[in-house]
Amino acid sequence: MQITRRVPHIRSFKASVITVFALFILANITDIPFFKTFAPIVTAKALAALDPNAPLVIPADVPTSGDASLDQIIFKAGDKFGVDPRLVHAVILQESRYVSDAKSGAGAQGLMQLMPGTAKRFGCDDSNDVEKNVNAGTKYLRVLLKRFDGDVVLALAGYNAGEGNVDKYKGVPPFPETENYVRKITGNYGKTYHPVVKPEEARVVFHLTQGDDPAAE
């Protein structure tokens, strides 16, 4: 299935960006869990109104890798596993800069830099296979987000340093690499809370269907 990318209305897009940025700054300055408090609530009415056959449209505010086919893989993974594709992009950007055959000195491989054990855990038998790598990494993000109640900071810390270390230190482990990792990704993503929703609800919450792009309003 081909997925198209929505081009924003410039004026409304700029206004949306300014508004979101202002709210993000306010939430961080006041230490109010803004995004969690005002997270979208998926109603039965909204789900009922969602046409399962409606074409998926990549919203204009979703980043691009520069490769349309890769963008579609990332978008489909987010839709399938209930993870905001914007967050998946932010993780891939930090992990591999979209280099599909990237490999770290520690042995992490592919776009989402999966360690062999993690790849096996989430059904990826070839970390250099772009789709398998993205699917496995996205599934892992979902598990972490659910485990840490939608706390993006802790989920990212777990992705980088391991869930056990987050438990051990009762927060972000005091490792410079992990602290920098979390800071950069949350900065790019722009949120510290990610609603934990069912995959079928993701299209509503993250505005992934045609005619449901907040940037176009």
The set of catalytic residues is: 95
- Are 58 and 3 spatial neighbours (Cβ–Cβ below 8 Å)? yes
- Are 96 and 128 spatial neighbours (Cβ–Cβ below 8 Å)? no
> How far is 141 from 129, CA to CA, in rounded Å?
18
Tokens of 13: 């897009």
58 bridge partner residues: 5
Separation of CA 55 from chain center: 20
Q: What's phi and psi for 58, nearest 5 deg? A: -75, 115
Distances in whole angstroms, Cα of residue 8 to Cα of each of 13, 22, 157, 211, 214: 6, 20, 33, 12, 9
Rounded-to-10 torsion of CA 22, 26, 29, 34? -130
Separation of CA 109 from chain center: 19
57 bridge partner residues: 4
For β-strands 4-5 and 57-58, DSSP reports them as parallel
